[in-house]
Structure 1
Amino acid sequence: MRLSIRNRLAGEVVAVEAGEVMGTVRVALGGGLEITAAITLESVRELGLSSGQRVVALVKSTEVAIGLGELPRMSIRNRLPGRITEVEHGAVMTTVQLATAGGDTVTAAITKDAAEDLGLEPGLDAIALIKSTEVSIALT
């Protein structure tokens, strides 16, 4: 299978918590980072997810936000710190690549206006922000 999703973060399941309809899956990435996916309980069961399993967390670049500095309290739990390695401006959208502390590359597609307002450029420390409902899980 070939996918158009740019962000493919390999890791190991460290916890699976089931609710009535949805479940959360915590995945350990490199460098002590974690990412949490909120997926349907049906998907948790179909994939047979359990601790210790190798998986890939998938996130569309349009679902990644970029933050700078100390971030205020917010509901977004997936915060992957790193350093911006590339900023490519288009007519209305900008692609930002961030190298995480764990060695992964996370790509964000944000508006050009937002990128310019933040003054994003290679070398800046930043944080990739991803809602857990925007993370999919694939088996390796």
Structure 2
Amino acid sequence: MQLSIRNQLAGTVESVATGEAMSTVRVRLDGGQEVTAAITAESARDLALTEGTAVLALVKSTEVAVAAATVPRISIRNQLAGTITAVEHGAVMTTVKLAVAGGVTVTAAITKDAAEDLDLAEGAPAVALIKSTEVSVALP
């Protein structure tokens, strides 16, 4: 299956915590970072997610925010620090690519105004911020 989702991050399930309606799935990416996905308990059961299951963490680039410096304590679970490898400005939107540990690239689509306000540039440190509710889990 081919998907239009730019961020397809390979990893392994570290843990699954299941509540009545929702589950949180902690995934250790191949680069060593950890990503948490909040998915329905039904989906976790249907995918038979258990510790050690190989998965893809999927995130649309429009669901990735970018911080230009160290992030203060906030509720966003997924904070992937890296270095900006590309900034491509369009008329309204900007695509930002961050290289994070293990050769993983995360792509963010943010407004051009935000990118300019943050003075994002190739080679600068940055952090990709992704809410756990915006991470989907797929079996490879």
Confirm or deny a common fold (TM above 0.5).
yes
Indicate the residue corresponding to 2:59 in structure 1. 59
Alignment of 1:65-80 (within 5 A): 65-80=65-80
- AA aligned to 2:55 is V
Give secondary structure in 1 for the equivalent of 2:133: helix
Is contact 2:62-2:109 (8 Å) kept? Answer: yes
Deviation at 1:102, TM superposition (A): 2.4
Q: Indicate the residue corresponding to 1:138 in structure 2.
A: 138
Match of 1:120 in 2: 120
Which residue is equivalent to 1:81? Answer: 81
Q: Which range moves more in the overlay, 68-77 or 43-52?
A: 68-77
After TM superposition, the score normalised by the length of structure 2 is 0.98
Whole-angstrom distance in 2 between the partners of 1:105 and 1:68:
16
Cα distance change on mapping 1:75 and 1:50 into 2, 3 Å = same
Report deviation, 1:29: 1.0
- Equivalent residue for 1:29? 29
Alpha-carbon offset, residue 103 of structure 1: 1.4
AA of the residue aligned to 1:57:
A
Query: Are 1:11 and 2:11 matched, yes or no?
Result: yes
TM-score, length-scaled by structure 1: 0.98
Structure 1: distance between partners of 2:102 and 2:35: 12
Amino acid at match of 1:46: D
| Runs of 4+ displaced beyond 6 Å | none
| Aligned-residue RMSD, C-alpha | 0.7
Unaligned segments of structure 2, at least 5 residues? none
CA displacement, residues 28-54 of structure 1 (integer Å, 9 cap, x when unaligned): 013431000000000000000000010
Matched residue pairs, number? 140
1:4/1:31 CA distance change after superposition, 3 Å:
closer
CA distance in 2, matches of 1:72, 1:100: 19
Residues 87, 97 of structure 2: 8 Å contact kept: yes
SS at match of 1:115: helix
Distance in 2 separating the partners of 1:97 and 1:134: 18
